[in-house]
Amino acid sequence: MEVRKAIMLLSSSAVIFSALVSIVILFQAALAFGMPWGEFAMGGKFPGKLPAPMRAACLVQIAVLAFLALIVLSKSEIILPGWLEFAAVGIWFVVGFSVLSSILNIMTRSVRERRIWAPVSVMMLITSFIVAIAV
């Protein structure tokens, strides 16, 4: 019974992480396509529509975030079983990324960014850590 609970916690954490990443990806895509939400990203340095280089950076962030989700889902054995060995190491990169993201989102000068993205990044940290320590 305890094994079943552990598997359920692992799977739930991976799904929650991936759902949160999906939300962030959608937000980044909206920014990349010109939505005027700059005050909610990148420290609020670019209120309104982001300049072209920052919009391109959003596309890079989308690729990175999607890759992180693939690692988490693979480590939890939901998809890509051939990646399991890679994911067992890569998950610690995801945790480190989530730590950095949480720190930056908590410290940002943009109150709006902090209110929205700090809880998301902290939840991504918690769920990625649960996946990382799961056996």
Per-residue pLDDT of the chain (135 residues; tens, 9 = 90+): 588 888 899 999 999 999 999 999 999 999 999 999 999 999 889 999 999 999 999 999 999 999 999 999 999 999 999 999 999 999 999 999 999 999 999 999 999 999 999 999 999 999 999 999 997
Alpha helices in the chain (DSSP H): 2-32, 52-75, 84-107, 111-133
Token pair for residue 88? Answer: 């067992």
Per DSSP, the three-state class of 106 is helix
Cβ–Cβ under 8 Å, residues 94 and 102: no
Taking CB atoms within 8 Å and a gap of at least 24, the contacts of 53-58 are: 55/31, 56/32, 58/28, 58/29, 58/31, 58/32
Cβ–Cβ under 8 Å, residues 48 and 31: no
- DSSP conformation class of 81: G
pTM as predicted: 0.93
